[in-house]
Amino acid sequence: MDFELVAIALGDVTWILLAFCLGLFAKFLSLPPLVGFLATGFILGAFGITSGDTLNKLADLGITLLLFSVGLKLDLKSLFRPQIWAVTALHVSAVLTIFGAVTLVFVALKFPLFESLDWKTALLIAFAMSFSSTVFVVKVLEDKGGMKSLYGRVAIGILIMQDLLAVGFLAASSGKIPSVAALGLLLLIPLRPVLWQLLVRSGHGELLILLGLVFALGGAELFELVGVKGDLGALIMGVLISAHPKSSELAKAMFGFKNLFLIGFFLSIGLSGSLSLPALEVALIFLCLLSVKSGLFYVLMTRFRLRARTSFIATLNLSNYSEFGLIVIAIGVSNGWLESDWLVAMALLVSLSFVVSAAVNTRDNQLYHRFHDFLIRFQDSKRIEGDQILETSGTRIAVFGMGRVGSGAYDRMVERYGESVIGFDADAVNVTNQQKEGRRVLQGDPSDEDFWEKLEKNYTFDLVMLALPGHRASVEAIRQLKAINFQGRIAATAKYTDEEKLLLKEGANHVFNFYREAGVGFANEISLPPDK
The 10s digit of each residue's pLDDT in 487-520 is 889 999 888 888 888 889 988 899 888 777 777 6
pLDDT of residue 303: 92
pLDDT of residue 108: 93
pLDDT of residue 458: 62
CA 320 – CA 86 distance, rounded (Å) = 20
Q: Break the chain into its structural domains and give their ranges.
A: 50-378, 397-525
Question: pLDDT tens, 15-61?
Answer: 778 888 888 888 787 666 777 887 887 787 777 766 666 667 777 78
pTM reported for the whole predicted model: 0.70
pLDDT of residue 426: 76
Print the SS3 string covering 348-412. HHHHHHHHHHHHHHCCHHHHHHHCHHHHHHHCCCCCCCCCCCECCCCCCEEEECCCHHHHHHHHH
Q: Name every residue whose Cβ is closer than 8 Å to that of residue 168 and which is 6 or more positions away in sequence.
A: none
| Concatenated DSSP letters of 181-250 | GGGGGGGGTTTHHHHHHHHHHT-SSHHHHHHHHHHHHHHHHHHHHTTS-HHHHHHHHHHHHTTSTTHHHH
User: Model confidence at 8, in pLDDT bands (50, 70, 90)?
Assistant: very low
* Per-residue pLDDT at 5 exceeds 50: no
Instruction: Give the single-character DSSP code of 455.
Output: B
% pLDDT > 90, the chain: 20
| Buried b / exposed e along 457-490 (16+ C-beta atoms within 10 A) | eebebebbbbbbeebebbbbbbebbeeeebeeeb
User: Model confidence at 439, in pLDDT bands (50, 70, 90)?
Assistant: very high
According to DSSP, the β-strands at 441-443 and 421-425 are parallel
Domain 50-378 top-level CATH class: mainly alpha
CATH topology of domain 397-525: Rossmann fold (3.40.50)
Question: pLDDT tens, 274-300?
Answer: 677 888 899 999 999 999 999 999 999
pLDDT of residue 298: 96
Question: pLDDT tens, 177-215?
Answer: 667 777 777 888 888 888 888 888 887 778 888 888 888
pLDDT of residue 388: 66
* Per-residue pLDDT at 525 exceeds 60: yes
* Per-residue pLDDT at 4 exceeds 60: no
